Structure 1
């Protein structure tokens, strides 16, 4: 499911608000374990990217999630977000 949504971003069909919404949903998916295993690093990564794209809700959720994560996991999530942004 996440792969399909990410591929949809590459086609440029949606505006930045729509992209932020999709990325926020990816974060929610990983944070809650909806259709996948719970993965807080991935959730933080997607919330971070959505926040960069303009989602204030994603920024709030990222901050809440950060409070429950250790520094190593946060660093890994930030690196993954930077790597994704570099490619996309």
Structure 2
């Protein structure tokens, strides 16, 4: 599996709208269950790149969702992010991941 939504580091959109669109397109793909989008969102939030703020809770959430779905590199990335987080932050990230899964189940019903 390759991360197809986030562009290489040398890609720098010329305006803020374009960077917002990168994250928005990942979120749309994630809503349809695209594991690469989950992983790419984790990368964006863990590094504060591609229009996403640096947010380790969100990064952990997305890496967790990718790992649960079977994306191979996501578990290691989740572990790396968790090393920089408090237990309370990890619990919040896990709560957000459960909410995302529950919302997806409601949409599918």
TM over 0.5: yes
TM-score, with length taken from structure 2 = 0.69
- Cα-to-partner distance string for 1:41-69 (whole Å, 9 max, x where unaligned): 00000000000111120111001111110
Q: How many residues align?
A: 82
Aligned counterpart, 2:93: 77
TM-score, with length taken from structure 1 = 0.84
Query: Which structure has the greater CA radius of gyration?
Result: 2
- Could you tell me which runs of 5 or more consecutive residues in structure 1 were left unpaired when the two chains were aligned: none
Aligned counterpart, 1:62: 78
- Coordinate RMSD, CA, aligned: 1.5
Taking CA–CA contacts closer than 8 Å with sequence separation of 6 or more, which of the two structures ends up with the larger relative contact order?
A: 1
1: CA distance between counterparts of 2:93 and 2:23? 17
Q: 1:6 aligns with which of 27, 30, 48?
A: 27
Aligned counterpart, 2:60: 44
Higher helix share: 1
2: CA distance between counterparts of 1:2 and 1:86? 21
